[in-house]
Amino acid sequence: MGSPMVIGQITAGDSIVTLVSFLLLMLVLKMVAWKPLMAMMEKREQLIAGNIDDAEAKKLEAERLLKVQQQQLEDTRNRSSAIIEQARDSADKLEREQLAAAKAEIARLKEEAKKAIELERKQALASAQNDISRLSLDIAEKLIGKELSNEGHAELIEEYIERLANSNEIK
């Protein structure tokens, strides 16, 4: 130690020290820092690639779902308009049917009423005829009764009764 140094003196030992320490440094760095760092960077790369793939898949899926939804929406719209159409049709039909039924009912009632009226009229007419014939009989009776007392009028009464009978027959 301590020999005077000339500038440029070769200290060969330094080469060995430098070489060994540098290579050792590289080895230690590789073990301690490089490998975990590379593994981490690799992991990150894969993670990012995975995320991108995932996002792409999700996007495709979303597009597919959107298409399906639109299709379903379209279907529903078609179906609902069909249902409305159908309902309108059936409502119309029902209305027409009810209208027709009501008309028929009215016609039936009218007919019945007409028949009843006719019947009533006939009955009334029949009873009136009876009344008239009875009345005329009464009248005739009274007339005859009064006249009968008078002789000589027998032919007239005969004629009267005959005419009355004829008129009854005509009716």
Partner 1 sequence: MDHENPIVTLFGLDFNVTNTIVTVSACVIVFLIAFICTRNLQVKPTGKQNFIEWVVDFTGSIASSAMSKKQSEKFRLLGFTILTFVFVSNMMGLPLMLIIDDYQMWKSPTADPVITLTLAAMVIVMTHYFGVQEQGVKNYFMNSFVRPVPFLFPIKIFEEFTNTLTLALRLYGNIYAGEILLGLIASLAQSKGIFTWIVGIPLEMAWQGFSIFIGSIQAFVFTTLTMVYLSHKVEHEESTEHTKEAS
Give residues in contact with partner 1 (CB under 8 A): 1-5, 8-19, 21-22, 24-26, 28-30, 32-34, 36-37, 40-41, 43-44, 47
The rounded distance, in Å, linking the Cα atoms of 22 and 78 is: 80
Which residue number, 39 or 148, has a Cβ lying nearer to partner 1?
A: 39
Which residue number, 47 or 82, has a Cβ lying nearer to partner 1?
A: 47
DSSP state of 5: P
| Residue 40: CB minimum distance to partner 1, A | 4
| Residue 85: CB minimum distance to partner 1, A | 60
- Strand extents, DSSP E, 6-145: none
The rounded distance, in Å, linking the Cα atoms of 22 and 34 is: 15
Closest to 157 in 3D by CA, of 171, 127, 137: 137
| Residue 56: CB minimum distance to partner 1, A | 20
| Residue 54: CB minimum distance to partner 1, A | 15
Structure tokens at 96: 């027409």
Which residue number, 12 or 170, has a Cβ lying nearer to partner 1?
A: 12
| Residue 53: CB minimum distance to partner 1, A | 17
Which residue number, 28 or 102, has a Cβ lying nearer to partner 1?
A: 28
Which residue number, 21 or 166, has a Cβ lying nearer to partner 1?
A: 21
Q: What are phi and psi of 75, to 5 degrees?
A: -55, -50
Show the CA angle centred on residue 122, arms to residues 116 and 128, nearest 5°.
Answer: 135
The rounded distance, in Å, linking the Cα atoms of 149 and 157 is: 12
Q: Which residues contact 143 (CB under 8 A, 6 or more apart)?
A: 160
